[in-house]
Structure 1
């Protein structure tokens, strides 16, 4: 121990507002054991908090009366939007726990989701105490996942529903930057697959074989199992050898390469933990023994950039920077630390922070965990690191003056919170993480593409294994032509694509990317892609599942035929519409198209019921209804709005060149009313076609606007009587078809070319081939001749 550390231990005067940890508690309620009590999450947290109160060795009633802040770590069933609680839950988790213990704090916090939150909460509450905003605070968390799953389908089961009055500072899910529709649409919906991307990139960077890396995982986690085996709060207190951890068996099945079941975080647990913090002044008032006090010597929290923004998937700099900063703040080197606990949901967070970041060895005699780690100790949802803090506190009390480190990971290598603890007295040092965050945020941006096409190179990958033996290959790579990054999935049953991922080292392999409606798909070559995803020649079919398509001379009438759901669309319907409009634009004998809806509705947008029941949600390249993202539509499309045009239905109408509506029609971009936004062009198009203030009101309120109102401000071209929208649209189409189809087409092309030019003179003078193209058409010659001969022209559209 250095002289500086000795001075800290002997420091006689400490600021009265210095924050300290004075009590910790843990509990486990193992399913199937004689002691099992089927505790709810609230019960578990209350039990752990009760133990923490006893741990302070002071008058519990006096301490409870002084608690001004309680902070709860979010349970698993409150972490993902839309997640259900099969047995019910409290609507105010922190105050439910407080009520169990006869506490009525002024402030109650429900922290954001993420495994970093226990450590982040402790640091935040300590800062509040140091600033005088609090004197006594308790942080706790728990999950009863095992109990919930056990009783979920049983007729007789407990009801964990609770309602508690009182203010609650609910900080929300905290998922910004951690989830994306793009990742989800390519199969990256589960933690093992996401962490495996980092794991495989790290293996590639180190140049290790599959067998060598598996050995490294085994050597890392075998000591973790030994710690768990002696921990009374562990969910799986079984010691395993490195070979057991990395050998595939029926029980140790593959999850997502390189992970087998034994090295994946265990969440089916019933666990709870709590930590009590006070000021030095409050602890002395309460008579809490000073030899039990634990000080925070260093701390830091950093946030990583979103998944596809990582410069190198083999490294997560946020965790490394936060780890180093906490040690530097404490004035320590890694050799000075007596106990470590690195968040260990999977191997790579430990490798990244401890091995790569600090240079620690996997067989460090101090061990890299005090609990046993998430796959073996278990993890109560987001609350694992609260157990690590509690265990660290107990160990430090047994060895006064020593130092313990806790590193907590949140999200998918997304957020990292750290702290260094000791019984040695020290003044509180404010957070210095902002400058670290600036370093991370200043990293160069990685160019990305959502719809990828062409030759590419694999940056990282995984293969997901289903219980039925099915395999799904997923890659992140870079296009050779542009260097843009993308996500892609193997085409189902494409063994040639999976064979690439079965190679000794898939990273760096060349693959072919093709874009389909559901997303990017990879295979071995363009020929293989053409074989598996053959290009569709633009042509109309005899029949469609979700549409009716009628051809009347030069006119095409497309009717969305899902009246039972007000013509709301699902991905297969979008695909059919994309196919129909591809055929329309490619067919020289079709001059005008009308789109309408069956029954008394135009289109109610996306079918949210389909999405809510697990249906895959995506749009084809051409967008909603095959129209909203389509570039350069050079033949007229008329929307015949015969009823409600809501959400995507209004966006589809806005994407049409002309709108005819009957007197029953009404329009709304109502996405904000269901927690969504109008991303299929509504936010972009509406302010360009009506006054911005009016557009803004419609977009942020979701209110309905009538066809009459839209006609007055120029969105609806023609109004019709009830039921007359299609007839009026036919009349408008007839007018258009009396003009030269070549001139109409080239007029629309020139409008498309000049639309983005704000200066009128510049737009008029834009160099274009449109005029040259016009003058060599037969229609131009026919039009002038017919005019001179005073006869009706006969158009050829050529």
Structure 2
């Protein structure tokens, strides 16, 4: 010890706590109080003077609770505005730096590694990492008449690193039911079963064999949330208590998040540890460490494995200079079976019944999934075991996301100077693997790559598939067609992976069933046609003119999926009807044409999607070969402005206001605004409007070329009807073909190339009735009688 670098980091104290609901001694502690109690125990565990240690802490780092990991998640009992400094205040620490880590189960190990590196570099001397969850208390007391208030406001700087959800969540995945961890991990689990060629019964037995030893450890752990030993058979046998969650998972093998737990780890330099009087038998060194990030879920070449976890585990052991058979204790993050299978069994070749065990705590389904903080408990246990067996080695593997992020470390009481991070070498291996090509709108025959069936408490089943299109090999995600028991039966068969399915694109997203015929039977095709009535729009037919009115004045005509679907159907019918030649879209009432996306609905958590034709059934529509006029009365904000930009012509009353206001609410004008506006007006002006969300009036919009005509207040529809009448006076065939030629040549940059481009449109025109009628009527000095033929 005397020759070791004084800046070498050592773990000097660990602490854990549990506050079991309903048991003697239950205190209904908040997340802050749980973390503070664990931190105080870590300080006491160091063996020096607690007050002196608290005063020397220069850095505190907190793990995010679940309720502050998910954007918009409810916090029914309140929370601290500065979790790390709230905890610091409870233990009389006044750190210069406070960190709130990103979400993810890799966080505790990653933070410990980072803080140790800061100490080795001289940027810190004593650091405290901690985390906690009070989910069980929150759920139990949220509706209590005298519920506790966990809210507090603390002054002081905070390095809030954000949610850390980039690459882990997507609107496409959410719209296809992939919003919960069990269903996403089940996809990986089923892919692994197929790779190994195991039957359902054989794989269930493997899951039971893996997790039964975990229950035995949990049963002996005083900090475990569910200390009950269960047999392998019991874990995988469905019962009322052990209900199906997401095939192949039953409740007992799914991470337990209803816990009240906290843990903390205290780290210091060798120099500070000596100054604080921490006995050397409390010191534990980091011998190896690694962090790796896997490709995003749908980008991965192999959905049955995570090379990132295996590479990170291998690198940590290599840095420590130990082989797997030299490791005394293991703890693998175990939210579900597949992360343990991947890292321990497939990666390191360990056996589920290895006498050393694969967990020190009992694992997340049994010890408890303390939110993002589970691995802080694993490190605490590893430190204690290392002290009891001086010179032995303990391994911790921490998993985050959907086997997306992996942090590892090897610990021992044997002195070892700090080694700089070498993770870049393994990350480069991961990043060089090409992403799998994907498609958002899937159509045609496909092969199931992996799958799951979700079960709700009422017994309803929802199939989810990741597949590959046969024609292109592109990957897609889809749900089973609603009301289709055949696809559920296929997914519940012995081995669905590799089976053929029929994919179709619908408004809410991709759907799969067993055949095109089955798709037509479950979801009968409907010819485009106007209905007698709609819920969210009004439709008026006036000769060859169709007037479409968005009828949600109470919401300023803001749109949400059911309204988009109706508008998509209306415009499908318009473009299919040869007797309708011009359409006008406007808004009901005097306040707004369309205020854009219905943000109240978006905040509800319900599926928020656009039909294939886009916002208002127009912004992503191809082949718009009949004129659509936007009659803008009042506000055209966000998606409302994007709808106007998608129209061929815009008539606005003098009160109209236009804006791509998405930046004001943290969104992006993704329904075509960021694409169309810079093509419609000078680029620099478009940039200003997009980046500031600034509103422009009708006159400025006309000067920029966005608006064709301005009408008096309240006169937009009347002016649009007058403009439509002018168009209707000409040949509908000429109008249609003019639009087709403009669309065909829009992407040709050279003007002469565009003018001379080969097109069949002119041939169609010259052979049309309307062309002959127009010439004949001119020659005979009479009004032409157009037929749109």
- For Structure 1 versus Structure 2, the TM-score category normalised by the shorter chain is over 0.9
Which residue pairs with 1:689 in the alignment? 680
Which residue pairs with 2:647 in the alignment? 656
Whole-angstrom CA distance in 2 between matches of 1:488 and 1:305: 20
- Report deviation, 1:189: 1.0
- Report deviation, 1:787: 2.5
Whole-angstrom CA distance in 2 between matches of 1:583 and 1:468: 39
Which residue pairs with 2:245 in the alignment? 255
Whole-angstrom CA distance in 1 between matches of 2:238 and 2:521: 35
Task: Tell me which of 723, 726, 742 is aligned to 1:735.
Answer: 726
- Report deviation, 1:611: 2.2
- Report deviation, 1:219: 0.6
- Report deviation, 1:536: 1.6
Which residue pairs with 2:61 in the alignment? 71
8 A Cα contact 1:457 1:477, kept in partner:
yes
Task: Tell me which of 360, 366, 375 is aligned to 1:370.
Answer: 360
Which residue pairs with 2:427 in the alignment? 437
Alignment of 1:158-557 (within 5 A): 158-557=148-547
**Secondary structure of residue in 1 paired with 2:547:** strand
Which residue pairs with 1:678 in the alignment? 669
8 A Cα contact 1:304 1:440, kept in partner:
yes
8 A Cα contact 2:241 2:251, kept in partner:
yes
Task: Tell me which of 73, 76, 79 is aligned to 1:83.
Answer: 73
8 A Cα contact 1:461 1:473, kept in partner:
yes
Whole-angstrom CA distance in 1 between matches of 2:575 and 2:687: 33
Q: Deviations over 1:636-695 (max 9, x none)?
A: 000000110111111000000000000011011111111111111001101100111111
Q: Deviations over 1:403-428 (max 9, x none)?
A: 00000000111100000000011111
Point out the more displaced range, 191-200 or 753-762: 753-762
Task: Tell me which of 757, 768, 779 is aligned to 1:777.
Answer: 768
Whole-angstrom CA distance in 2 between matches of 1:456 and 1:147: 46
8 A Cα contact 2:483 2:522, kept in partner:
no
8 A Cα contact 1:539 1:583, kept in partner:
yes
Q: Does 1:749 pair with 2:740?
A: yes
- Report deviation, 1:615: 3.0
8 A Cα contact 2:702 2:708, kept in partner:
yes
Whole-angstrom CA distance in 2 between matches of 1:293 and 1:74: 27
Whole-angstrom CA distance in 2 between matches of 1:470 and 1:702: 44
Whole-angstrom CA distance in 1 between matches of 2:787 and 2:180: 57
Whole-angstrom CA distance in 2 between matches of 1:435 and 1:536: 56
- Report deviation, 1:616: 2.3
**Secondary structure of residue in 1 paired with 2:421:** coil
Whole-angstrom CA distance in 2 between matches of 1:768 and 1:438: 49
**Secondary structure of residue in 2 paired with 1:531:** helix
- Report deviation, 1:51: 0.3
Which residue pairs with 2:622 in the alignment? 631
Whole-angstrom CA distance in 1 between matches of 2:588 and 2:483: 38
Q: Deviations over 1:77-121 (max 9, x none)?
A: 000000111110000000000000111100000000000000000
Which residue pairs with 1:121 in the alignment? 111
8 A Cα contact 1:256 1:463, kept in partner:
yes
8 A Cα contact 1:228 1:237, kept in partner:
yes
- Report deviation, 1:701: 1.3
Structure 1 gap segments, 5+ residues each: 1-10
**Secondary structure of residue in 2 paired with 1:660:** strand
Whole-angstrom CA distance in 2 between matches of 1:767 and 1:332: 70
- Report deviation, 1:492: 2.3
Q: Does 1:13 pair with 2:8?
A: no
Whole-angstrom CA distance in 2 between matches of 1:685 and 1:257: 44
TM-score (norm 2): 0.99
Which residue pairs with 1:667 in the alignment? 658
Whole-angstrom CA distance in 1 between matches of 2:756 and 2:412: 75
Q: Does 1:598 pair with 2:598?
A: no
Whole-angstrom CA distance in 1 between matches of 2:722 and 2:247: 61
- Report deviation, 1:502: 1.3
Whole-angstrom CA distance in 2 between matches of 1:453 and 1:376: 43
Point out the more displaced range, 761-770 or 576-585: 761-770
Whole-angstrom CA distance in 2 between matches of 1:554 and 1:251: 63
Q: Does 1:790 pair with 2:781?
A: yes
Whole-angstrom CA distance in 1 between matches of 2:94 and 2:465: 51
Which residue pairs with 2:22 in the alignment? 32
8 A Cα contact 1:637 1:656, kept in partner:
yes
**Secondary structure of residue in 2 paired with 1:42:** helix
Whole-angstrom CA distance in 2 between matches of 1:561 and 1:270: 49
- Report deviation, 1:740: 1.2
Structure 2 gap segments, 5+ residues each: none
Q: Deviations over 1:62-91 (max 9, x none)?
A: 111111100000001000000111110000
Whole-angstrom CA distance in 1 between matches of 2:543 and 2:238: 65
Whole-angstrom CA distance in 2 between matches of 1:493 and 1:619: 22
**Secondary structure of residue in 1 paired with 2:549:** strand
Which residue pairs with 1:710 in the alignment? 701
Whole-angstrom CA distance in 2 between matches of 1:519 and 1:363: 43
Equivalenced residue count is: 788
Task: Tell me which of 612, 616, 621 is aligned to 1:621.
Answer: 612
Q: Does 1:763 pair with 2:783?
A: no
**Secondary structure of residue in 2 paired with 1:374:** coil
Whole-angstrom CA distance in 2 between matches of 1:760 and 1:208: 62
Which residue pairs with 1:103 in the alignment? 93
Q: Deviations over 1:157-205 (max 9, x none)?
A: 1110011000000000000000111111111111110100000000000
Q: Deviations over 1:496-543 (max 9, x none)?
A: 111101111111111111111111111111001011112221111111
Which residue pairs with 1:7 in the alignment? none
8 A Cα contact 2:135 2:257, kept in partner:
yes
**Secondary structure of residue in 2 paired with 1:383:** helix
Q: Deviations over 1:568-619 (max 9, x none)?
A: 1121111111111111111111111000011011011121112222332111
- Report deviation, 1:316: 0.8
**Secondary structure of residue in 2 paired with 1:199:** helix
**Secondary structure of residue in 2 paired with 1:766:** coil
CA RMSD of aligned residues (A): 0.9
8 A Cα contact 1:271 1:379, kept in partner:
no
Whole-angstrom CA distance in 1 between matches of 2:750 and 2:267: 64
Whole-angstrom CA distance in 1 between matches of 2:426 and 2:755: 52
- Report deviation, 1:792: 2.5
Whole-angstrom CA distance in 2 between matches of 1:76 and 1:142: 10
- Report deviation, 1:786: 2.3
Q: Deviations over 1:376-412 (max 9, x none)?
A: 0002110000000000000000000000000000011
- Report deviation, 1:785: 2.1
Whole-angstrom CA distance in 2 between matches of 1:565 and 1:396: 63
**Secondary structure of residue in 2 paired with 1:325:** helix
**Secondary structure of residue in 2 paired with 1:382:** helix
Q: Deviations over 1:676-719 (max 9, x none)?
A: 11111001101100111111111111121111111011000000
Whole-angstrom CA distance in 1 between matches of 2:753 and 2:410: 64
Whole-angstrom CA distance in 2 between matches of 1:700 and 1:687: 12
- Report deviation, 1:12: 4.6
